Amino acid sequence: MAPQNVGILAMEIYFPPTCIKQDTLEDFDGVSKGKYTIGLGQDCMAFCSEVEDVISMGLTAVTSLFEKYEIDPKQIGRLEVGSETVIDKSKSIKTFLMDIFEDCGNTDIEGVDSTNACYGGTAALFNCVNWVESNSWDGRYGLVVCTDSAVYAEGPARPTGGAAAIAMLIGPDAPIAFESKFRASHMSHVYDFYKPDLASEYPVVDGKLSQTCYLMALESCYKGYCQKYEKLEGKQFSIADAEYFVFHSPYNKLVQKSFARLVFSDVARNASSVDESAKEKLGQFTSLTGDESYQNRDLEKASQQVAKPHYDKKVQPGTLINKQVGNMYTASIYAAFASLIHNKNSSLDGNRVMMFSYGSGLSATMFSLHLSEGKGAFSLSNIAKVMNVDEKLKRRIELPPLEFVELMKVMEHRYGGKDFVTSKDTSLLAPGTYYLTEVDSKYRRFYAKKTTQLANGH
Amino acid sequence: MAPQNVGILAMEIYFPPTCIKQDTLEDFDGVSKGKYTIGLGQDCMAFCSEVEDVISMGLTAVTSLFEKYEIDPKQIGRLEVGSETVIDKSKSIKTFLMDIFEDCGNTDIEGVDSTNACYGGTAALFNCVNWVESNSWDGRYGLVVCTDSAVYAEGPARPTGGAAAIAMLIGPDAPIAFESKFRASHMSHVYDFYKPDLASEYPVVDGKLSQTCYLMALESCYKGYCQKYEKLEGKQFSIADAEYFVFHSPYNKLVQKSFARLVFSDVARNASSVDESAKEKLGQFTSLTGDESYQNRDLEKASQQVAKPHYDKKVQPGTLINKQVGNMYTASIYAAFASLIHNKNSSLDGNRVMMFSYGSGLSATMFSLHLSEGKGAFSLSNIAKVMNVDEKLKRRIELPPLEFVELMKVMEHRYGGKDFVTSKDTSLLAPGTYYLTEVDSKYRRFYAKKTTQLANGH
């Protein structure tokens, strides 16, 4: 029989313990109070210290998932990585992660890295789900890893950084199942955010263009989703048809704007679920052309106001980690989803969650998940317990801005570099965390794992 | 009903008209006669001039496929690119190709870029096939593009370059169908060939290690394939069970060694199809350990001798383009497969073709295809006709070595650069070929298409 309810069986999230408060950064940068905390809607930002990178974070997330859900590496038949943090232009991050599997002799694992800005994780996830549903599935689990370190040059984009890795186990009979028939994509050739300066870790960003591209892609995907839903289900779709909405979150303010845009879109489509008050407040804007509507401040304000109670209910529960950790690129939307699981766990049973994934350049998809509590290790309540988000957030160390800025300088120098050893200082890392020890004269990278028994030393 | 016989419906190959003869290069480099032509087994090498790159080649291959098979861009529901030639570290090559689709309003096209050295095209192909077999398939075609420019620093690896783009249309009822249940992969963390120097287009290569990794991965995949075949079919597999063998081809000599290794592997497994003469000549080597066997020159010589008649029949028909164009990285194995279609076209009806895909780092898979003549546009004979390989090879222009070396210097300077215009010299390009015109101050790239009516000028 064909596998049913294919989706996410288990999740683990890792983010560095090192972070900086956005209000502290506001003071340090000498910008107006609230520019980052209210303007961007961000509370805190995590970053890799010089002993962590996307490979070490990926190793940590995968081994932690295996340990906590008691998965044998032999049970994995496919491993895919989504990332836009390039350490090597040819050798995939997936091959670095093979270290975990080779010890037990399992080298028969399909999948490589998927690349397009923040969208690569979603591409990897779709690929893994499709594999389980395809003729080539061999009955083993799929594993998706989203790992990124988002860093920016000094300037207005710097506070929109962040870092994390998320591992997701894929298989049938999942508590988090894909509603594959409804999803809609929008792909287009634009230069809103890209990384053409190969020697630099920093992107070239046109912030205003990127925000407009994001909102236009959102609208296009939402329209496509609604059309497919209506065609297949024979009834209209509106935001009333899903309990939760999860967005790729470069910064929380854009998530607020995005959800408000969907509310306006329902009004513009004259969806039956829209109430009179919303029609009254937003109806006047429906005559704007698409382009005008993305720039209109009055519409933005009015739609956010109308959206507010819905936002608090349907969106806010999926914003915690992103506000606390920052933009995690490919991991961002799944960190938002992890926030929702953390906050609502077993109460999500029977719910539909809408997901909007965006990667500059651009690639975007809106898709939906059907949640059920599940059983044992593969249940929403156990996933929430394993991820242990509160504890991970509490355990963090805030570093002073000067230390952060100096670290960024060290990392600029080291990016693409060779022939150096790191401090190997693991004092801030939790036991079980992987860390970078050395990059040799041939650019080969070496990692170690902080032992769980502290008495063992390094 | 679930889609049957999912696979490749149509193919197009593009390689630059600019090339250099390997024997001319031998003279120029002052190496011993035959070092490249016999030692590597290569005849000629294609390369991008300063108006071509992996994006322009991809645009050319896709538009040519659409035109020649009369495919409307609206019929495409998924587009995936395999490449290891990084022009941007975040923005996928797929988004550049979206230009072709946006004109007709089709932006709902899933898929991004798959990355791991020369293996990315195979990953993209598997992803596309799985999509057609998955619940998320919407009935449209998938499209896979493998596009790469292989260039090396001056030295022994330089003659192993090449350049090409291949486009493949994916769907059900294909003349080239996947036997998905048998495939076996070998993935491992090694540094045989990688690109850690981000500012340089050239890889770091350990030639000897890479060759051993390739052969070890081949052996591991072949063993895995045989095991799965035997488990599912209830009978032994040996090279007698497939009409043709197609290999990723960095240079032809490695393909010769690879096939000989499979012949030796059949002897070592004591396969029933192995004749007495082969057992006699190779049996003495079966006591070698794995490591010893990869280094043993007597074994290499003896197995190539035993393999020779089988090689001529089962492998040689799939080597033409690779010997003439060089290593095309992700496109290499599909160029080898295209050579087979070109040489054998409709006579392949009913045949099994074994495929071995390898990407350093490393990722490798052995899989098999079941071929049938098919009908109309989607038939082996039409694919051979459309690809028109003889004509494309004939049309090429050999450049003198000095011009090639000087071009490499220009390209080294331009790699990762901005703010320049190209010569826009399209005199060597066939009508319908895309070319690079400019990279502006924001690194944005601009392309044009050489018009088919020559009277129109540029």
**DSSP secondary structure string for all residues of A178-196:** E-GGG-EEEE----SEE--
Cβ–Cβ contact A105 with B under 8 A: no
Cβ–Cβ contact A184 with B under 8 A: yes
Contacts of A135 in chain B (CB under 8 A): 6, 133, 178, 180-181
Amino acid present at B178: F
Out of B84, B201, B219, B243, the active site residue is B84
C-alpha distance from B370 to closest chain A C-alpha (Å): 15
Cβ–Cβ contact B363 with A under 8 A: yes
Domain ranges of chain A: 7-456
> With an 8 Å Cβ cutoff, are B123 and A112 in contact?
yes
> With an 8 Å Cβ cutoff, are B136 and A120 in contact?
no
d(CA A180, CA B134): 9
Q: Which two tokens stand for residue B17?
A: 């008209």
User: Residue A216: its pLDDT value, please?
Assistant: 97
d(CA A188, CA B451): 24
Interface mutation vs chain A, best among B56, B86, B107, most A CBs within 10 Å? B107
C-alpha distance from A129 to closest chain B C-alpha (Å): 8
Contact A359, B111 (CB under 8 A): no
B260: nearest Cα among B291, B289, B317, B218: B218
> With an 8 Å Cβ cutoff, are B191 and A123 in contact?
no
Q: Which residues contact A129 (CB under 8 A, 6 or more apart)?
A: A6, A7, A142, A170, A178, A180, B134, B136
Q: Does the N-terminal peptide bond of residue B198 adopt cis geometry, omega within 30 degrees of 0?
A: no
Interface mutation vs chain A, best among B118, B127, B360, most A CBs within 10 Å? B127
> With an 8 Å Cβ cutoff, are B133 and A133 in contact?
yes
Cβ–Cβ contact B6 with A under 8 A: yes
Q: Which CATH class is domain A7-456?
A: alpha beta
> With an 8 Å Cβ cutoff, are A443 and B194 in contact?
yes
> With an 8 Å Cβ cutoff, are B416 and A108 in contact?
no
Is residue B84 annotated as part of the catalytic site, yes or no? yes
> With an 8 Å Cβ cutoff, are B127 and A130 in contact?
yes
- Whether the domain at B7-180+393-456 and the domain at B184-371 fall into the same CATH topology: yes
Write down the CATH number for the domain with range B184-371: 3.40.47.10
User: Residue B291: its pLDDT value, please?
Assistant: 87
Write out residues 147-176 of A within 8 Å (CB-CB) of B: none
Contact A97, A104 (CB under 8 A): no
C-alpha distance from B33 to closest chain A C-alpha (Å): 32
**Owner of token pair 């992660």:** A97
Contacts of A2 in chain B (CB under 8 A): 2
Contact A11, A334 (CB under 8 A): yes
Task: Give the count of beta carbons closer than 10 Å to the beta carbon of residue B433.
Answer: 23
A211: nearest Cα among A168, A142, A258: A258
Contact A382, A70 (CB under 8 A): no
> With an 8 Å Cβ cutoff, are B90 and A183 in contact?
no
For chain A, the distance separating the N- and C-terminal CA atoms, rounded to the nearest angstrom, is: 50
Write out residues 202-241 of B within 8 Å (CB-CB) of A: 203-204, 220, 224
Contact A80, A124 (CB under 8 A): yes
> With an 8 Å Cβ cutoff, are B133 and A129 in contact?
no
Q: Would you call B173 exposed, middle or buried from its count of C-beta atoms within 10 A (0-12, 13-18, 19+)?
A: middle
B419: nearest Cα among B396, B404, B440: B440
Q: Which region, left, alpha or beta, applies to residue A416 given φ > 0 means left and ψ of -120 to 50 means alpha?
A: left
Contact A84, A115 (CB under 8 A): yes
Instruction: Report the run of H or E that residue A448 belongs to, with start and end.
Output: strand A445-449
- pLDDT tens track of chain A, all 458 residues? 789 999 999 999 999 999 999 999 999 999 999 999 999 999 999 999 999 999 999 999 999 999 999 999 999 999 999 999 999 999 999 999 999 999 999 999 999 999 999 999 999 999 999 999 999 999 999 999 999 999 999 999 999 999 999 999 999 999 999 999 999 999 999 999 999 999 999 999 999 999 999 999 999 999 999 999 999 999 999 999 999 999 999 999 999 999 999 999 999 998 889 999 999 999 999 999 988 999 999 999 999 999 999 999 999 999 999 999 999 999 999 999 999 999 999 999 999 999 999 999 999 999 999 999 999 999 999 999 999 999 999 999 999 999 999 999 999 999 999 999 999 999 999 999 999 999 999 999 999 999 865 544 44
Question: What residue in A sits closest to B131 (Cα-Cα)?
Answer: A130
What is the SS3 assignment for B309-327? HHHHHHCHHHCHHHHHHCC
Contact A24, A400 (CB under 8 A): yes
d(CA B450, CA B458): 7
Radius of gyration of chain B (CA): 22
Is residue B189 annotated as part of the catalytic site, yes or no? no
Contact B132, B171 (CB under 8 A): yes
Contacts of A116 in chain B (CB under 8 A): 90-92, 94-95, 112-113
User: Residue B455: its pLDDT value, please?
Assistant: 47
| Nearest-by-Cβ selection for A191 from B111, B114, B442 | B442
User: Residue B404: its pLDDT value, please?
Assistant: 96
Facing residues of B107 across strands?
A: none
Question: What residue in A sits closest to B138 (Cα-Cα)?
Answer: A181
Q: Which CATH architecture has domain B7-180+393-456?
A: 3-Layer(aba) Sandwich (3.40)
Please list the ranges in chain B whose pLDDT falls under 70: 452-458
Q: Which region, left, alpha or beta, applies to residue B36 given φ > 0 means left and ψ of -120 to 50 means alpha?
A: alpha
- What is the count of residue pairs from A and B with beta carbons less than 8 Å apart? 253
Helix/strand/coil for B30: coil
Cβ–Cβ contact A199 with B under 8 A: yes
Contacts of B106 in chain A (CB under 8 A): none
Cβ–Cβ contact A129 with B under 8 A: yes
d(CA B386, CA A116): 32
Cβ–Cβ contact B418 with A under 8 A: yes
Q: Which region, left, alpha or beta, applies to residue A175 given φ > 0 means left and ψ of -120 to 50 means alpha?
A: alpha
B161: nearest Cα among B404, B360, B340: B404
Reported ipTM: 0.96
Instruction: Report the run of H or E that residue B132 belongs to, with start and end.
Output: helix B120-133
Q: Would you call A108 exposed, middle or buried from its count of C-beta atoms within 10 A (0-12, 13-18, 19+)?
A: buried
d(CA B192, CA B211): 8
Contacts of A107 in chain B (CB under 8 A): 185-188, 220
Helical packing angle, A120-133 and A332-344, nearest 10°: 70
Query: Sheet containing B420-421: which strands, arranged edge to edge?
Result: B420-421, B434-439, B445-449
Q: Would you call A370 exposed, middle or buried from its count of C-beta atoms within 10 A (0-12, 13-18, 19+)?
A: middle
Q: Which residues contact A450 (CB under 8 A, 6 or more apart)?
A: A426, A429, A430, A431, A432, A433, A434, A435
Cβ–Cβ contact A107 with B under 8 A: yes
User: Residue A453: its pLDDT value, please?
Assistant: 57
C-alpha distance from B235 to closest chain A C-alpha (Å): 19
d(CA A370, CA B404): 57
Question: What residue in B sits closest to A190 (Cα-Cα)?
Answer: B95
Contacts of B104 in chain A (CB under 8 A): none
Q: Which two tokens stand for residue A248?
A: 């790729």
User: Residue A457: its pLDDT value, please?
Assistant: 40
C-alpha distance from A195 to closest chain B C-alpha (Å): 5
Cα–Cα–Cα angle for A359, A190, B422, rounded to 5 degrees? 130
d(CA A185, CA B145): 19
Contact B202, B152 (CB under 8 A): yes
Q: What is the pLDDT of residues B70-85, one digit of tens each?
A: 999 999 999 999 999 9
> With an 8 Å Cβ cutoff, are B86 and A87 in contact?
no
Instruction: Report the run of H or E that residue B385 belongs to, with start and end.
Output: helix B380-387
Interface mutation vs chain A, best among B1, B53, B78, B91, most A CBs within 10 Å? B91
d(CA B134, CA A127): 10
Cα–Cα–Cα angle for A453, A389, A348, rounded to 5 degrees? 135
Out of B80, B219, B248, B300, the active site residue is B248
Cβ–Cβ contact B68 with A under 8 A: no
d(CA B168, CA B109): 15
Q: Cite the DSSP H helix spans in A234-379.
A: 252-268, 276-282, 290-295, 297-314, 320-325, 332-344
Which sequence positions of A are flagged as catalytic?
A: 84, 118, 248
Contact B173, B68 (CB under 8 A): no
Task: Give the count of beta carbons closer than 10 Å to the beta carbon of residue A385.
Answer: 13
Q: Which two tokens stand for residue A388?
A: 């242990």
Torsion of CA B153, B155, B156, B162, to 10 degrees: 40
Cβ–Cβ contact B10 with A under 8 A: no
Q: Cite the DSSP H helix spans in A86-178.
A: 93-97, 99-102, 120-133
Whether the full predicted model's pTM is greater than 0.90, yes or no, is: yes
Task: Give the count of beta carbons closer than 10 Å to the beta carbon of residue A452.
Answer: 11
| Nearest-by-Cβ selection for A189 from B102, B130, B189 | B102
Cα–Cα–Cα angle for A426, A432, A433, rounded to 5 degrees? 50
A374: nearest Cα among A343, A344, A332, A346: A346
For chain B, the distance separating the N- and C-terminal CA atoms, rounded to the nearest angstrom, is: 50
Task: Tally helices (H) and strands (E) across chain B.
Answer: 15, 20
d(CA B73, CA B76): 6
